[in-house]
Amino acid sequence: MSRGQFSIDFFLVLSIVVAFSVLLYNVALGEIGKTKLLDSAVLGKHALDELASGVDTAAFSGNQSRLRKELFVPEDVNCLYFNSTENAFYCFVTSSFLEGRPNRLVSRSLLSSTPLDVQCGLAPGWHAASFFNNGSHVVVSCSGV
Q: What is the 3-state secondary structure (H, E, C) of the chain?
A: CCHHHHHHHHHHHHHHHHHHHHHHHHHHHHHHHHHHHHHHHHHHHHHHHHHHHHHHHHHHHCCCCEEEEEEEECCCEEEEEEECCCCEEEEEECCHHHCCCCEEEECCCCCCCCCEEEECCCCCEEEEEEEEECCCCEEEEEEEC
Q: What is the pLDDT of residues 18-38, one digit of tens each?
A: 999 999 999 998 888 888 888
Listed residue (64, 58, 80) closest to 127, CA to CA: 80
The average pLDDT across 106-133 equals 88
Cα angle value 106/72/104 (rounded, 5°) = 20
Global model pTM greater than 0.75:
yes
Listed residue (109, 66, 62) closest to 84, CA to CA: 109
Structural contact between residues 52 and 40, judged by C-beta atoms closer than 8 angstroms: no
Is the confidence at residue 2, as pLDDT, over 70?
A: no
Is the confidence at residue 106, as pLDDT, over 70?
A: yes
Tell me the average pLDDT of the chain: 86
d(CA 117, CA 38): 30
- Spans of all domains in the chain: 3-144
d(CA 85, CA 75): 27
Question: For position 129, what pLDDT does the model report?
Answer: 92
d(CA 68, CA 75): 22
Is the confidence at residue 46, as pLDDT, over 70?
A: yes
Q: What is the pLDDT of residues 54-89, one digit of tens each?
A: 999 999 998 999 999 999 988 888 888 888 888 888
